[in-house]
Amino acid sequence: MAKEADRALGRPAAASATGCAGPLAGCRRRRPDRRAGLRPVPNLLLLTTCLLLTLLAPLAPALAQSAEPQKVLFDCDIGSDIDDAYAMALLLASPEIELVGVTVGHARTPDRAPLALRMLWETGLDHIPVYVGRETPLVTLRDGKPHDQFAEAPYNRQFHWARGFDGLKPEEQPAAEYIVETLNAYPGEITLLTVGPVTNIGDALELDPDVLRNAKRVVSMYGSIRSGYGGGEAQREWNVLADAAAVQAGGTEVVYIPLDVTDHVRLDADRRLHLSMRRTPLTDAVTALYSLWRNEERDQTTPRLFDAVAVGYLLWPDLFGLEHGRVTVDEQSMTLFEPGAEPTSTVALTIDDAAFIERMVTRYLEQNLSR
């Protein structure tokens, strides 16, 4: 959430599956009988197998897509910046993802839940539950107290899109309890994706300090390693700053998607026009939310896709350049990275942003989600 942040900051190549270089490679032949002038007779079983595998090769991409989807629990602060909406839309439009639940956290959480619920209802995915975290100040200091100047959280314009929506209701169980219950019930199966201030994660760790060990992995849009907002030097990133009191994720594999690979990834006007013309419930939702966000953020026209990039890592990790090392946060809420140090986390530091945008927009345009 750049505006609020600004205000508060002052494998070698593998052998082929057939073991053959071509359809007949590796298929044993009988020595020809020169006296009879006979031609060699191949081993028919191996020949048939190689030929079948060669014919099936073009179907590999489709077969890959039929693999079991990734189970994802999505923790977000939808309704602040517009990137959460694009991130959730990308999750819903991707068959590789099984969204097991959505938790909303930070600031005016009761106003965030209807946004997620209406998007799920409009796209016919209302079986996905939504859980609400506790309300918080806009900025919480390391001692757990509100920031003097940024205590009261504003009513964001995007909230109007779902104001009065009662087609679905959030679950009564608090978000942190749901996170603990779900990760513990399915150890090693669920990716926890966080794209906002980690209030709900901190609260879950208060309930069960070991809960994240049961996540398959944690992927977080979090921090600023070597570059910050606008491509400048590293600085205090909003998700870190907004709840400095929340406990850092630990005890499992953590992949950080920081400003280094998110801030410069933008959705240009031509792409936004394509989305607005598509007229599906999903594209209509993100277009409407963009309009409200744009009306509020008058100094910003082109949205930065911070949180959608984190979803992109789940879908297309080939687009990212990664480094491994220790990640910590200092007293000034700066994210520090020590390459090669332990305990080890993974940090994304480069991205093919053009390829990401192309793939993301294609997902939006090719889906037909509806009730």
Read off the pLDDT of residues 168-181 as tens digits, 9 standing for 90 and up: 999 999 999 999 99
Quick check: 115 and 77 in contact, CB under 8 A? no
The pTM of this model reads 0.83
Please indicate whether residue 26 or residue 359 has the higher confidence score (pLDDT): 359
Task: Dump pLDDT digits (tens) for 327-339.
Answer: 999 999 999 999 9
Q: What is the pLDDT of residue 298?
A: 74
Task: Dump pLDDT digits (tens) for 48-80.
Answer: 545 555 555 555 544 444 589 999 999 999 999
What are residue 363's phi and psi, to 5 degrees?
-60, -45
- Residue 220's DSSP bridge partners are 194, 256
Q: Which residue has the tokens 């956290």?
A: 105
- Estimate to the nearest angstrom the gap between the alpha carbon of 317 and the chain centroid: 11
What are residue 292's phi and psi, to 5 degrees?
-65, -45
Return d(Cα 256, Cα 226) in angstroms, integer: 13
Q: pLDDT at residue 195 above 90?
A: yes
HSE (side-chain half, CA atoms, 13 Å) at 356: 30
| DSSP designation for 260 | G
Task: Dump pLDDT digits (tens) for 147-158.
Answer: 988 899 999 999
CATH class of 69-366: alpha beta
For CATH 3.90.245.10, the residue range(s) in the chain are 69-366
Return d(Cα 100, Cα 242) in angstroms, integer: 26
Task: Dump pLDDT digits (tens) for 221-255.
Answer: 999 999 999 999 999 999 999 998 885 555 577 99
Q: What is the pLDDT of residue 229?
A: 96
Question: Is residue 88 exposed (0-12), middle (13-18) or buried (19+ Cβ within 10 Å)?
Answer: buried
Quick check: 116 and 83 in contact, CB under 8 A? no
Percent of residues, the chain, with pLDDT higher than 70: 81
H or E segment to which residue 182 belongs = helix 175-185
Return d(Cα 25, Cα 47) in angstroms, integer: 9
Widest Cα–Cα separation across the chain: 100
With a CB cutoff of 8 Å and minimum separation 6, the contacts of 349 are 225, 226, 258, 260, 261, 321, 322, 323
Could you tell me the two tokens for 212? Answer: 């994240």
Average pLDDT score over the chain: 86
What are residue 101's phi and psi, to 5 degrees?
180, 160
